[in-house]
Amino acid sequence: MNGRKREVARRLFAYEFNRSTHKIGGEDERSPVYVLTPTGMRCNRVFVVGVLLDKEETRPDTNFWRIRVSDPTGVFIGYVGRFQPDALETILEVEPPELVAIVAKVRLFEGETRNFASLRPESIAVVDSDVRDYWVCETARLTLERIKQMEERSSEDAELAWQIYNPDLEEYRTIVRQAVQSVVAEYGVVEEAKEKAAREEEKEEIEEIEDIDEFEEEFDFEEEEWDLSDILGE
Amino acid sequence: MEDRINELTEQIVKRFKDSGFDVDAKEVSKRLKLLIFEFKVPESEAVRTVTNYLMKELDISREQLVAESPLVKIADITTPGKWVSLKAKVVQLWDATSPNVSQVGLIGDETGIIKFVIWAKAGKGEVEEGKSYLFKNVVTDSFGGRMQVNVNRSSQIVEIDEDVQLPPRELEVVGALIAIQQNSGLIKRCKLCNRTMTKDICPVHGKVEGYDDLRIKGVVDDGENYYEVILNEDNIRALTGIGLNEARKIAEEKLDRNAVLTELKTRLLGRYFRVVGTRGERYLIVREVEFLKPDIKTIAGEIL
């Protein structure tokens, strides 16, 4: 521990992450580096859940991977190399697209025109949509709390964020709302689909009884008759 | 300037009054003025000098004088090297590991629990578990990354007739399991002392026989705080269906004890859990744990 506390894994959406350009700390080698986000959050470690869109070796055979992970608001860019063995192990195995939960340290690259924030994953785990949905809600709640603190200018970091970013809070509120709605919409769809399926099942049952002979006839086939090579493009 | 002298005078008079001694405010004020105005002595030194003079005059020892350290809550102790006073209850006493230590353990108030050490040199009476005390003039300190308070010669421990409330010991946390640490999975413990062994070696008993155990040392994080948790075999079985026997089977099949840890990481890392457990000094000892089954529609509705 060396007297240093563990950094909390902060929650934020890609939209806000990608607009973060300001670094705090890191003057000497041992002091932790934080990225200040537009809604006044100081983060060093984050927890994000999203879709791994693709993975790509930066150069062939370097075992250094660039990954893109999308949440409902945008895309996180991350880099995984041999110094993150746990994350690397998963990256080598998983084939995108896949839902993943990532614990990562944040990095700020100093570009010529502006700075770019990226992730350096400590661990990557394949998860299901329940995890993603809860993450979106949790991240939304915490982001809205920060937006409120920005309005009240109730912390030093909020004050600093005003000075550096002068953010349009309404824009962030809209993004957060859209993210949550995307999750709810999906639930609506799932439920509707379930209802529809239930209704159709009923209907089919009736039809089935009537058409049972025809049904059997039609689907009485040999497996070889189905040649999938066209569809699969083989 | 005159106001400042009056303020300091009041402080000194009050401190003696609180300890049951009356001193002449005029006398105090005169001495302070002399030191500060005439001799340009810094305020704090002037106060100290006048206090020492009065103690000598009245023939009282430092112990008899009430400490001036501010009364704080345990949650507010964040920096080492501060003199504070605490109203707290003794939660637990441990065996002192060194002859220099008279007593060591945990004390708590309604805001938190902190380790305390009474140095043998302090020459204080002993405290008892479950009783509440006023810990006057103790020094905050940081040891191994955790805050603690030390009781030294200038400190005072006074039993109080008040039952200091402790924070709820049992805690419910909802968060993501963001790390599973070393020494998790299928581990070996020393048969003599139950300590975890690395490479069949007990840190105390050396190369001895060990027995298998299954546990996870991990970190649950809710985005605002983190909790170091310990899951035992029952917890792990409840979540994954993998108990000690299944773990042994995995290790045998893969010819690698680490395979168990890998399997647990794959199944548990990055998921959300509801955890109920007892708060120790560092770890949350988990009693119940389950995968979080969120009602997204309701939660999302509340946000929108």
DSSP string for residues in A206-230: HHHHHHHHHHHHHT---GGG---HH
Residue A53, C-beta contacts closer than 8 angstroms, at least 6 positions apart:
A68, A69, A70, A75, A96, A97
Judgement on whether residues B185 and B246 belong to the same structural domain of the protein: yes
Q: Is the model's pLDDT at A210 over the cut of 60?
A: no
**Kindly report the CA angle at B234 between B106 and B146, in degrees rounded to 5?**
25
In a domain, B238, yes or no: yes
User: Token pair for residue A56?
Assistant: 């790509």
What average pLDDT does the segment B115-126 reach? 88
Which CATH number characterizes residue B176's domain? 2.40.50.140
Q: Please tell me what DSSP assigns to residue A19.
A: T
Q: Which residues of A touch B (CB under 8 A)?
A: 1-6, 8-11, 47, 49, 86, 100-103, 122-127, 130-131, 133-135, 137-142, 144, 176-177, 180-181, 183-184, 187
Is B182 near chain A, with CB under 8 Å?
Answer: no
Which residues on chain A are in Cβ contact (under 8 Å) with B266?
A: 125-126
B226:A101 CB<8 A? no
A6: closest chain B residue by CA: B226
Contact A53, A102 (CB under 8 A): no
Judgement on whether residues B175 and B288 belong to the same structural domain of the protein: yes
Query: What is chain A's alpha carbon radius of gyration, rounded to the nearest angstrom?
Result: 24
CA–CA separation, B275 and B268 (whole Å): 13
In a domain, B65, yes or no: no
pLDDT, position A221 = 45
Per-position DSSP letters for A62-119, written without gaps between them: S--EEEEEEETTEEEEEEE-TT-HHHHHHHHH--SSEEEEEEEEEEEEE-SSSEEEEE
pLDDT, position A166 = 96
In a domain, B165, yes or no: no
C-beta neighbour count of B180 within 10 angstroms? 21
CA–CA separation, B84 and B91 (whole Å): 19
Q: What 3-state DSSP class applies to B240?
A: helix
B223:A8 CB<8 A? yes
Residue B243, C-beta contacts closer than 8 angstroms, at least 6 positions apart:
B214, B233, B236, B237
CA–CA separation, B227 and B234 (whole Å): 20
Lowest pLDDT segment from A172-181, A191-200, B95-104: A191-200
Q: Is the model's pLDDT at A213 over the cut of 60?
A: no
Is B213 near chain A, with CB under 8 Å?
Answer: no
What average pLDDT does the segment B133-148 reach? 88
pLDDT, position A176 = 96
Judgement on whether residues B124 and B2 belong to the same structural domain of the protein: no
pLDDT, position B63 = 67
Task: Kindly report, residue by residue over B242-287, the tens digit of the pLDDT.
Answer: 999 999 999 999 999 999 999 999 999 999 999 999 887 688 999 9
Domain span at B110: 74-159
Q: Which of B139, B159, B179 is the last residue of a domain?
A: B159
Judgement on whether residues B220 and B298 belong to the same structural domain of the protein: yes
CA–CA separation, B26 and B50 (whole Å): 12
Q: Which of B183, B85, B180, B94 is nearest to B138 (CA)?
A: B85
Tell me which residue has tokens 């009781």.
B151
B223:A125 CB<8 A? no
Task: Kindly report, residue by residue over B1-42, the tens digit of the pLDDT.
Answer: 788 899 899 988 888 887 778 899 999 999 999 999 889 988
In a domain, B68, yes or no: no
User: For A131, which of B178, B219, B270 is closest by C-beta distance?
Assistant: B270
Judgement on whether residues B40 and B92 belong to the same structural domain of the protein: no
Listed as own residue / partner, the contacts of B21-30 with beta carbons closer than 8 Å and 24 or more positions apart are B21/B58, B21/B60, B23/B54, B23/B58, B28/B54, B29/B5
C-beta neighbour count of B301 within 10 angstroms? 12
Contact B213, B233 (CB under 8 A): yes
CA dihedral B181, B182, B188, B189 (to 10 degrees): -70
pLDDT, position A144 = 96
- Tell me the ipTM for this assembly: 0.77
pLDDT, position B68 = 64
Q: Is the model's pLDDT at B291 over the cut of 90?
A: yes
A137:B144 CB<8 A? no
Q: Is the model's pLDDT at B230 over the cut of 50?
A: yes
Q: What's the sign of the alpha-carbon dihedral B31, B35, B37, B39?
A: positive
Tell me which residue has tokens 């399997």.
B263
Give me the domains of chain A, ranges plus CATH numbers.
10-189 (2.40.50.140)
Residues in chain B: 304
User: Token pair for residue A221?
Assistant: 């086939």
pTM here is 0.67
CA–CA separation, B241 and A65 (whole Å): 34
Is B226 near chain A, with CB under 8 Å?
Answer: yes
Judgement on whether residues B155 and B181 belong to the same structural domain of the protein: no
Task: Output phi, psi for B192, to 5 deg.
Answer: -85, -40
Judgement on whether residues B176 and B294 belong to the same structural domain of the protein: yes
A1: closest chain B residue by CA: B145
For A191, counting Cβ atoms within 10 Å of its Cβ (0-12 exposed, 13-18 middle, 19+ buried), the class is exposed
What average pLDDT does the segment B214-227 reach? 95
B294: closest chain A residue by CA: A134
Judgement on whether residues B136 and B258 belong to the same structural domain of the protein: no
Tally of structural domains, chain B: 3
pLDDT, position A1 = 38
**Which of B180, B184, B299 should one mutate to test binding to chain A, selecting the residue with the greatest count of A CBs within 10 A?**
B299
CA–CA separation, B240 and B260 (whole Å): 12
**Which of A12, A98, A131 should one mutate to test binding to chain B, selecting the residue with the greatest count of B CBs within 10 A?**
A131
Judgement on whether residues B178 and B296 belong to the same structural domain of the protein: yes
* HEC-encoded secondary structure of B148-208: EEEECCCCEEEECCCCCCCCCCEEEEEEEEEEECCCCEEEEEECCCCCEEECCEECCCEEC
Judgement on whether residues B155 and B174 belong to the same structural domain of the protein: no
